[in-house]
Amino acid sequence: MEVLVNLASGFVTCLSPYNILMAALGAFLGTMVGILPGLGPSATMAIILPITFGMDPTPAMIMLTSLYLGAMYGGSTTSILVNVPGEASSVCTAIEGYQLARQGKAGTALGLSAIGSFFAGIFGMFALAFTASTLAEFSLKFGPAEVFCLVLMGMFTIIYVGGKDITKSLMSMVIGLGLGTVGTDMVEGQARFTYGVSELLDGIDFVILVMGTFGIAEVLESAEEFMKVEPMRVKFRELMPSLTEVWQCRWATLRGTLVGFCICCIPGSGPTIASFLSYGLEQTVSKHPEKFGTGVIESVAATESANNAAVCGAMVPMFSLGIPGSGATAVLLGGLILYGLKPGPLLFVEHPDFVWGVIASMFIGNVILIVMNLPMVPLFASLLRISYSLVYPAILVVCIVGAYAVASGLFEVGMMLVFAVIGYFMKKGDVPAAPMLMALIMGPMMEKNLYQALNLAHGDLSIFIRRPIAATLLGVIVVMSVVVMSKRVRKARGTVQEVEQ
């Protein structure tokens, strides 16, 4: 009941004309980002983030969350009409959606994906409100020892659940932790790894790293060679699926929504994993699994519902525990820090207007998106005809502005370029940048809590085992590691046996 009251107050906050305008702007930008291949939601949010510095945190965060939701909506348009997924999470939609488009059912596929996304977004918003507030209430009991173990567990989960190659993901994470040590140390106030550069005394700014490794690196990769896309034409009257089709997809939408939300509550699993799992589940429960790949409408509804519910799911650990579940939520978390808010359970106590306003704004964002997306799909699809060669210089210009805005200095712009080169080569070598980004945020948090925990315990390490919650969290890390390592050992043994044979 209390949650509903809080949610109602959130609606009061987010229903101001300025906040609605910000939600609409975010939704519009997000849809464009989702449609245009080459720039993902994390990169766009990273680029937009410094521009929101001067804004009040609530409208700024409302704009960013609407942008994230919009990117998920928009991703389906390119997937269905051109077979080019604007986002990694839309790959499964492209598999079935494009086949449907070739059969003349592009409008139906787009309509069903929008309806599924809307349902998932609304369900996800309510689920987020209930789950995050309950979890935040529980985590208020956490002291420094628990927070240290929680951050550690969050990092391991991100690697084990989301990482394609665990070694490379771990390396990326450790490098991020290393970058987090740059700056003034909190114990003795010594400057670490600054080499006399005063700009580094406050540490490496998260925005600089994210704009370099996500923003510019992504642009560089897309700018290697341009794709010319020719989208199929869709008329407005074709966009509404029949009631029979909507009814036919009801269970698929519900399954996708549940999978997307639940999976993304676990740090490390983003919308991409959710949509793939949802696609796999649909194939398993389908009476005609052999038809998958030829244009199955339920699969489009399920995967699109999954990646929209995933957006809300990924915000559960971010709001309640202060742990980013994915690259995009890491950017949002970085945003919270930049706006001077302390991520974690205290956010619900210290800034209830902000948290509930942002959560409630996801409802508004979804309403704006369905109104914007259904009638405007033909218009958005025509955006694909704009040459990328005209788009990327504009993105780079905004990146320069963003980096400059961080500290009003050109040093940050130069540092962003260095990270862009690193990010580009990391992409080429299949080394994920997201763990590095998350570690840069969580590293100092980890170091601070380790310091505080040991200080309170007079250097006694057993504090991490004596406190039940901390011990449980450590136990989870050990169990996870054993499971993952045993799988790897088994795989290695299999390979050795194969080679021997």
Nearer of residues 234 and 420 to another protein, judged by Cβ: 420
Nearer of residues 51 and 346 to another protein, judged by Cβ: 51
State the minimum distance, in angstroms, from the CB of residue 455 to another protein. 5
Answer yes or no whether residue 447 interacts with another protein by CB under 8 A: yes
Answer yes or no whether residue 443 interacts with another protein by CB under 8 A: yes
Answer yes or no whether residue 461 interacts with another protein by CB under 8 A: no
Interface pick for another protein out of 134, 167, 382, 472 (rule CB under 8 A): 167
Answer yes or no whether residue 243 interacts with another protein by CB under 8 A: no
Question: Cβ contacts of residue 499 below 8 Å, gap of 6+?
Answer: none
d(CA 78, CA 90): 9
Three-state DSSP class for residue 73: helix
Question: Cβ contacts of residue 466 below 8 Å, gap of 6+?
Answer: none
* Cα distances (Å, whole numbers) of residue 190 to 181, 196, 198, 202, 456: 11, 12, 13, 12, 22
d(CA 11, CA 335): 22
Partners of 191 in the beta sheet? 184
Angle at alpha carbon of residue 298, lines to 296 and 301, rounded to 5°: 120
Please check whether residue 242 is in contact with residue 61, taking contact to mean a CB–CB distance below 8 angstroms: no
- Residue with tokens 């794709």, as numbered in its chain: 227
Pattern 348-387, another protein, x by CB under 8 A: ----------------------------------------
* Segment contacting another protein by CB under 8 A, of 190-198, 199-207, 258-266, 285-293: 190-198
Pattern 396-435, another protein, x by CB under 8 A: xxx-xx--xx--x-x--xx--x--xx--x---xxxx----
Question: What residues between 141 and 160 interact with another protein by CB under 8 A?
Answer: none
Nearer of residues 356 and 464 to another protein, judged by Cβ: 464
Answer yes or no whether residue 3 interacts with another protein by CB under 8 A: no
The Cβ of residue 145 has, within 10 Å, a number of other Cβ atoms equal to 25
State the minimum distance, in angstroms, from the CB of residue 447 to another protein. 5
* Cα distances (Å, whole numbers) of residue 158 to 88, 113, 167: 17, 28, 13
Tally DSSP H helices, then E strands, for the chain: 22, 2
- Residues lying near another protein in the complex (CB under 8 A): 51, 54, 167-168, 170-171, 174-175, 177-178, 180-181, 185, 187-188, 190, 192-193, 216, 219-220, 223-225, 389-390, 392-394, 396-398, 400-401, 404-405, 408, 410, 413-414, 417, 420-421, 424, 428-431, 443, 447, 450-451, 454-455, 457-459, 495, 498-499
